[in-house]
Amino acid sequence: MKNVDDLIESAAELAARGLSKGEIADELNVSRETASWLVERSGTTPQQTEEAAQPPANGVSGPQDIHVDWSAIGRDSKRMNHIASAMADMLAKHGEDVDLTIGIEKAGGPIATLVARELETDLGTYTPAKHQWEEGDIEELGGTFSRNFAGIRDRECYVVDDIITSGTTMRETIEAIRAEGGKPLACVVLADKQGVEELEGVPVYSLLQVISVGKDD
């Protein structure tokens, strides 16, 4: 991805494949608001305005967000292993007896698999509410833990994802784990757009912190 036009085109392709706006946000590593804007600019929604239907142009203004493309890592298993090793190292200081790692779907799942292997823990996955989100209040939706992987069962655990955009998904996952009787000890991501140090009392670590510097800062 090199510019906004590329993101708009990708959003259109994903929308045409039937992905929800929440899933598009996940795929493009942007906020839900940015995903909505990209889909509307692509002209693939019936609610498009005359302005949104116009062909996009480089530099077109939109929501303030940062797109993080980590596909150079994700496409190569050796690189992924190295990254997972670094992420596992950041988590390891939080409890020696932790035996469960939770990956946030979709992108957090593969990373968590490698982190769990490095830490020799069981693996669980959580699908957040945003994967069902189109419009309206996301609080009305709910996420789910996959029964194909390890259950919480009142255990201490780590939480793994790829990107923190607003912190909403990570916060939701922490709350969902606690609702199941579990205790999240620490979270780790590849990149953090917010500079978050903790969420809901749980420390958050990132390999990269992305900081936007502009006139309003």
> Could you report the per-residue pLDDT of 169-198, keeping only the tens digit for each?
999 999 999 999 999 999 999 999 988 999
> Position of tokens 């205790």?
183
Which are the contacts of 67, defined by CB distance < 8 A and separation ≥ 6?
1, 7, 28, 29, 30
Q: Do the Cβ atoms of 163 and 170 come closer than 8 Å?
A: no
> Position of tokens 């797109």?
67
Kind and range of the H or E element at 198? strand 198-199
> Position of tokens 């190295």?
82
Task: With CA atoms as reference, report the closest residue to 130 among 26, 45, 17.
Answer: 26
pLDDT value of position 32: 73
**For residue 54, pLDDT beyond 80:** no
What residues does each domain of the chain span?
4-53, 71-209
> Could you report the per-residue pLDDT of 64-91, keeping only the tens digit for each?
788 888 999 999 999 999 999 999 999 9
Kind and range of the H or E element at 103? strand 100-104
Select from 1.10.10, 3.40.50, 1.10.287, 1.10.3470 the CATH code of 4-53: 1.10.10
Task: With CA atoms as reference, report the closest residue to 163 among 122, 114, 204, 133.
Answer: 204
Q: What is the dotted CATH code of the domain comprising 71-209?
A: 3.40.50.2020
**For residue 125, pLDDT beyond 70:** yes
What is the 8-class DSSP label of residue 55? P
**Top-confidence residue, 32 or 5:** 5
pLDDT value of position 97: 86
Range in 17-26, 166-175, 177-186, 196-205 with the lowest mean pLDDT: 17-26
Q: Do the Cβ atoms of 31 and 62 come closer than 8 Å?
A: no
pLDDT value of position 64: 77
**For residue 6, pLDDT beyond 50:** yes
The token pair that represents 179 in the structure block: 């609702």
Expressed in angstroms, the distance from the first to the final Cα of the chain is: 26
- 158-196 as b/e: b if 16+ CB within 10 A: bbbbbbbbebbbbbbbbebbeebebbbbbbbbbbbbbeb
**For residue 134, pLDDT beyond 70:** no
